[in-house]
């Protein structure tokens, strides 16, 4: 008898499972506990006729009481499951799902990667460096005269003593020249800082990509051909480029490189101020004094260098009128560019009628 009472006790513990059961589990429990053929409680009830009368009375009473409890718990659970199902009737299951939040690289990061990838195919290694530099690496090794206006404290953020936030990525080239013997071919992306106003075309924090090649026998032809090859890969194979004389203390001769306007294809528009050209980068042959400052023999080695602003290039490519939108973190603006450049597809390829004009571009 005590076996049957113990079996009833352990069956009672199964009561706790009922309120948690879903529809399928509830049907399983019903069969396992109360099933007519092999339900656990049914088996106990079947054993009653073989017991002594007063045992039969005790076990039978306890078994029937448990049976009623189980039935009540199962009925209650069935009712509550039915209730939840009818609550769902107000939900329109045909509505489209909510769009998943999908992150992506910032447009400027995508442009930096795309530019560096093209230079990698041309043999340039991507190198980065510190954003805090000394005056020697940021200015003097680069042949800035001691009284050059760019050295003025107004133009730079000084951290103390002669340490400042770099105003260009050029110090990385100086460190490289001091560390590795030529041949050197590097492309150097990174954040730079200047005490500029924060307006539509300037930001005190901006991204730069500089590039640099030094070897025995590098000529002006290598310089022009490399940059023109890059421009045709980045813009389009038909893109025309032109070089205009310029001045930088670290290059001689120096030149600005323009590409045919990407908005009007050279016919003249507001974006290119009716010139048909867009200024893309500054460049030149590395000044011999810079090589000598780094103990590189300027009689034996020559090189070329260039610098460009990825924000400006992204603005030109997409017709973005104000640099400040890159720093606003407004996803309504940023999400327009998710994945476009990452997939290797240019906006020109995506838009059948050319790059996005300003009117179609969402700028807050
Ligand atoms: C070393 C030697 C030469 C890097 C160069 C430029 C021309 C240039 C900037 C203008 C505005 C880019 O868009 S910007 O921020 N730069 O025009 N940069 S040549 O020449 C170097 C660098 C390092 C050792």
Indicate the domain borders of the chain.
2-86, 107-345
DSSP β-ladder status, 125-126 and 184-193? parallel
Q: Which residues are CB-neighbours of 114 under 8 A, at least 6 positions away? A: 234, 341
Question: 107-345: what CATH class?
Answer: alpha beta
How far is the centre of ligand 1, averaged over its atoms, from the C-alpha of 17 (Å)?
73
For residue 363, what pLDDT is reported? Answer: 55
For 340-359, b where at least 16 C-beta lie within 10 A, e where not — what string? bbeeeebbeeeeeeebbeee
For residue 352, what pLDDT is reported? Answer: 36
Mean pLDDT, rounded, for 10-36: 91
How far is the centre of ligand 1, averaged over its atoms, from the C-alpha of 280 (Å)?
12
258 lines ligand 1 (CB under 6 A): no
Residue 210's SS3 state is strand
How far is the centre of ligand 1, averaged over its atoms, from the C-alpha of 190 (Å)?
13
pTM higher than 0.85, yes or no? no
Residue keyed to tokens 């020249």: 177
Best residue among 137, 258, 307 to mutate for probing ligand 1's pocket (most ligand atoms within 8 Å of CB) is: 307
First to last CA, the chain: 82
Find, among 114, 116, 219, 212, the residue nearest to 171 by Cα: 212
The mean predicted confidence, pLDDT, of the chain is: 89
Between 201-205, 291-295, 329-333, 343-347, the lowest mean confidence (pLDDT) is in 343-347
Q: How many angstroms separate the most distant Cα atoms in the chain?
A: 120
For residue 362, what pLDDT is reported? Answer: 55
- Dihedral sign, Cα of residue 308, residue 314, residue 316, residue 322: negative
Mean pLDDT, rounded, for 251-274: 91
Structural tokens at position 199: 């307006």
Where does the pLDDT of residue 309 fall: very low under 50, low under 70, confident under 90, or very high at 90 and above? Answer: very high
CA–CA distance, 132 with 224 (Å, rounded to integer) = 32
């Amino acid at each position: 008898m005590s076996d049957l009472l113990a079996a009833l006790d352990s069956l009672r513990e199964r009561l706790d499972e009922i309120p948690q059961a879903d529809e399928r589990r509830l049907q399983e429990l019903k069969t396992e506990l109360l099933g007519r053929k092999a339900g656990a409680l049914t088996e106990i009830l079947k054993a009653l006729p073989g017991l002594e009368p007063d045992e039969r009375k005790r076990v039978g009473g306890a078994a029937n009481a448990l049976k009623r409890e189980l039935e009540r718990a199962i009925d209650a659970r069935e009712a509550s499951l039915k209730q939840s199902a009818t609550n769902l009737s107000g939900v329109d299951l045909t509505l489209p799902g909510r769009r998943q939040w999908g992150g992506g690289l910032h447009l400027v990061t995508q442009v930096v990667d795309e530019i560096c990838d093209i230079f990698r195919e041309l043999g340039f290694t991507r190198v980065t460096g510190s954003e805090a530099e000394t005056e020697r690496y940021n200015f003097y090794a680069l042949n800035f005269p001691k009284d050059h206006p760019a050295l003025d404290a107004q133009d730079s953020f000084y951290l103390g003593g002669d340490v400042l936030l770099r105003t260009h990525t050029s110090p990385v080239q100086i460190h490289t020249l001091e560390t590795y013997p030529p041949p050197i071919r590097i492309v150097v992306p990174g954040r730079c800082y200047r005490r500029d106003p924060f307006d539509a075309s300037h930001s005190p924090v901006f991204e730069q990509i500089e590039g640099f090649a030094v070897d025995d026998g590098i000529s002006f032809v290598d310089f022009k051909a490399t940059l023109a090859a890059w421009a045709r890969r980045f813009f389009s194979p038909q893109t025309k480029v032109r070089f205009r004389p310029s001045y930088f203390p670290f290059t001689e001769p120096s030149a600005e490189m323009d590409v045919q306007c990407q908005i009007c294809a050279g016919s003249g528009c507001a974006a290119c101020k009716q010139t048909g050209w867009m200024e893309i980068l500054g460049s030149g042959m590395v000044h011999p004094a810079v090589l000598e400052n780094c103990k590189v023999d300027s009689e034996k080695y020559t090189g070329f260098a260039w610098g460009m602003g990825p924000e400006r290039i992204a603005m030109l490519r997409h017709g973005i009128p104000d640099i400040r939108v890159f720093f606003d973190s407004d996803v309504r603006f940023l999400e327009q560019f998710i994945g476009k450049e990452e997939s290797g597809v240019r906006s020109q390829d995506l838009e059948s009628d050319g790059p996005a004009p300003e009117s179609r571009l969402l700028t807050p």
